[in-house]
């Protein structure tokens, strides 16, 4: 069973900046490309950080404030305040950058984004060089697979002598008998992992197991 990975849904090529890219140029790039973050790369195109709109907002938030940290400020606030006088990407960026490989699975990319609270990730090669970007929206492209394509993949490991598989708008309905009760949840989870499956409706039941028959082919 093939699984989609980041390279299947990402955008190849990405706007990026160097450490010495000026503040206003970064703002211009974000506006021109309709994005809220850009990776910062070194001379070898390796990703060393990311500048997001959140890194730029302290210029507004703390404009004219006392530069000294307040006694009860949290770490994030102190870090943001320190960027008030930053004028280039190297001073503004969040580092090290959180990146993902093009070979990573979509669930792995989704977990990284969720854990870090990010909407987009730089995609890098084995040397850490920027090859593109992947967004939360990109990850959802897997659900554009047709019902026929999903069913065709499921049928690669289903025993049609005992089971019937129906797919409607990504929802898979399973009907029929399996050899053992304990095999049902294992089989359902396998179907859930098929790319593009929205849900699985399980009408499977345990029944007499004929020789060589079962819910799936090894």
Tell me, what CATH number does 103's domain have? 3.10.580.10
CATH code of 181's domain = 3.30.1340.30
Domain assignment present for 211: no
**Is position 182 within any domain?**
yes
Same domain for 164 and 122: no
pLDDT in tens, 62-73: 766 666 656 666
CB-side exposure of 142: number of CA atoms within 13 Å?
Answer: 23
Mean pLDDT, residues 116-140 taken together:
96
The verdict on 95 and 68 lying in the same domain is yes
25 and 67 in a single domain? The answer is yes
Grade residue 136 by pLDDT with cuts at 50, 70 and 90.
Answer: very high
Whether residue 70 lies inside any domain: the answer is yes
The answer to whether residue 75 is domain-embedded is yes
Tell me how far apart the alpha carbons of residues 151 and 1 are, in angstroms, rounded to a whole number: 12
**Preceding peptide of 158 cis, ω within 30°:** no
Same domain, 25 and 107: yes
Range of the domain at 178: 145-206
pLDDT computed for residue 208 by the predictor: 64
Residue where a domain terminates, one of 86, 111, 142: 142
Residues 10 and 91 in one domain: yes
Domain boundary among 111, 142, 173: 142
Average pLDDT, the chain: 89
pTM value is: 0.79
**pLDDT for 218:** 33
Residues 131, 157 within the same domain? no
Does residue 68 share a domain with residue 11? yes
Q: Which of 133, 65, 59, 131 is nearest to 92 (CA)?
A: 59
Exposed/middle/buried for residue 114 (C-beta within 10 Å: 0-12, 13-18, 19+): exposed
The domain total for the chain is 2
- Together in a domain, 181 and 124: no
Q: For residue 66, what pLDDT is reported?
A: 62
Under DSSP, the state recorded for 216 is B
Whether 112 and 173 share a structural domain: no
Establish if 215 belongs to a structural domain.
Answer: no
Q: Whose CA is closest to 80, among 108, 60, 104? A: 60
Answer whether 175's CB lies under 8 Å from 163's CB: yes
Per-residue pLDDT band at 80 (split at 50, 70, 90): confident
CA distance 11 to 50: 17
List pLDDT tens digits, range 17-27: 999 999 999 99
**Domain boundary, last residue among 142, 161, 183:** 142
- With b meaning 16 or more CB within 10 Å and e meaning fewer, what string describes 123-156? bbeeebebbbbbbeebbebbeebeeeebbebbee
Do 196 and 100 belong together in one domain? no
Task: Mark whether 133 and 150 lie in a shared domain.
Answer: no
Same domain, 173 and 84: no
């Amino acid at each position: 069973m093939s699984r989609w990975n980041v390279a299947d849904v990402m955008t190849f090529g990405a706007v990026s900046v160097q450490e010495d890219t000026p503040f206003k140029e970064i703002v211009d790039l974000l506006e021109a490309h309709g994005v809220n973050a850009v990776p910062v790369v070194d001379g070898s195109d390796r990703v060393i950080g990311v500048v997001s709109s959140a890194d730029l907002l302290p210029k507004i938030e703390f404009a004219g404030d006392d530069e000294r940290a307040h006694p009860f400020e949290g770490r994030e606030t102190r870090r943001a305040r320190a960027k008030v006088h930053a004028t280039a990407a190297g001073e503004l960026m969040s580092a090290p950058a959180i990146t993902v490989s093009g070979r990573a699975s979509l669930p792995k990319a989704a977990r990284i984004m969720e854990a870090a609270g990010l909407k987009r990730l730089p995609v890098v090669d084995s040397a850490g060089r920027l090859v593109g970007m992947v967004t939360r929206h990109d990850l959802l492209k897997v659900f554009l697979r047709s019902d026929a394509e999903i069913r065709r993949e499921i049928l690669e490991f289903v025993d049609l002598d005992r089971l019937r598989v129906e797919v409607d708008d990504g929802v898979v309905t399973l009907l029929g008998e399996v050899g053992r009760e304990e095999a049902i949840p294992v089989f359902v989870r396998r179907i859930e992992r098929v790319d593009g499956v929205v849900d699985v409706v399980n009408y499977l039941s345990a029944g007499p197991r004929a020789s060589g028959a079962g819910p799936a082919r090894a």
